[in-house]
Amino acid sequence: MKVQIEESWRLRLQTEFDKPYFAELVAFVKQEYRQAQVLPPGHLIFRVFNTCPFEQVKVVILGQDPYPAPGLYDGVCFSVPEGVPIPGSLANIFLEIHHDLGKDIPTSGNLDRWVKQGVLSMNSVLTVRAHETGSHRNQGWETFTDAVIRKLSDERDHLVFMLWGNYAKAKAPLIDAHKHLILTAAHPSPRSADHGFFGCRHFSRANAFLKAWNMGEINW
């Protein structure tokens, strides 16, 4: 199957695109777009990949579902478009960066500046029905994004994987801990951030690891 995605990703993921599960996933997603309001708009589904080629990835942040409210999800996990109020989880991420690195808290929730530096902030499920959290789970997206994680683990060296919350932590077995840094913490959601996200210092720890391997730090 031919998929419109940045070439470095297409070359490495074509074997996934050619598998039966992916054809079934595409058929499901296309039907959903025909009969319901689905987020994000189709051209943004693979935006984080199109903005961050395979060879440029330094840090992987893994989420679960896109924001289900129209106008929030722009194809990058935790990110929102310019001018949109910053959601609670992202506000807590910015607060942790402030305490960890002393940086001012941004007024914009657009994370393109991270992605362009090599931060692949990716949801495990890449589409959702508007106002229906989790509506596209268990349709094949997880199989695809698990393959992305494995491909990065196998073919790259010295990456940082940030796994926040139990769902993301469960992906740790996909990653080779001998050559990558796996950072785990509670989810930054307002419901759980006080239980292990605040104080995790993942951003300074990530930069220290990247610097040690001459990878170049992220300007968080």
pLDDT (tens digit per residue) in 147-161: 999 999 999 999 999
Segment (H or E) for 34 = helix 20-35
Pairing of strands 38-39, 128-129: antiparallel
Q: Is residue 220 part of a domain?
A: no
The model's confidence at residue 130, banded by pLDDT at 50, 70 and 90, is: very high
- pTM for the whole structure: 0.96
Domain count, the chain: 1
What pLDDT sits at residue 201?
A: 98
Report the C-alpha gap between 131 and 128 in whole angstroms. 8
What pLDDT sits at residue 97?
A: 98
- Tens of pLDDT, residue by residue over 21-43, are 999 999 999 999 999 999 999 99
The model's confidence at residue 184, banded by pLDDT at 50, 70 and 90, is: very high
- Tens of pLDDT, residue by residue over 98-126, are 999 999 999 999 999 999 999 999 999 99
The model's confidence at residue 166, banded by pLDDT at 50, 70 and 90, is: very high
Mean pLDDT of 53-69: 96
Average pLDDT over the chain reads: 97
The residue among 154, 180, 182, 159 whose CA lies nearest residue 169 is 182
Q: Is residue 16 part of a domain?
A: yes
Q: Is residue 142 part of a domain?
A: yes
Mean pLDDT of 64-89: 96
Options 18, 65, 104, 146, the catalytic residue: 65
The SS3 of residue 156 is: coil
What pLDDT sits at residue 116?
A: 98
CB count within 10 Å of CB 12 equals 16
Main-chain dihedrals φ then ψ at residue 3, nearest 5 degrees: -120, 135
Domain, as residue range, for 29: 7-212
Whats the size of the chain, residue-wise? 220
Q: Tell me, what CATH number does 194's domain have?
A: 3.40.470.10
Q: Is residue 218 part of a domain?
A: no
The SS3 of residue 183 is: strand
What pLDDT sits at residue 17?
A: 97
Contact 96, 203 (CB under 8 A): yes
Mean pLDDT of 77-96: 97
CB count within 10 Å of CB 164 equals 27
What pLDDT sits at residue 174?
A: 98
Q: Is residue 2 part of a domain?
A: no
Whether 65 is catalytic:
yes
What pLDDT sits at residue 77?
A: 98
Q: Is residue 104 part of a domain?
A: yes
What pLDDT sits at residue 199?
A: 97
- Tens of pLDDT, residue by residue over 2-17, are 899 999 999 999 999 9
Q: Is residue 122 part of a domain?
A: yes
Q: How far is CA 180 from CA 57, 117, 126, 171, in A?
A: 12, 18, 24, 14
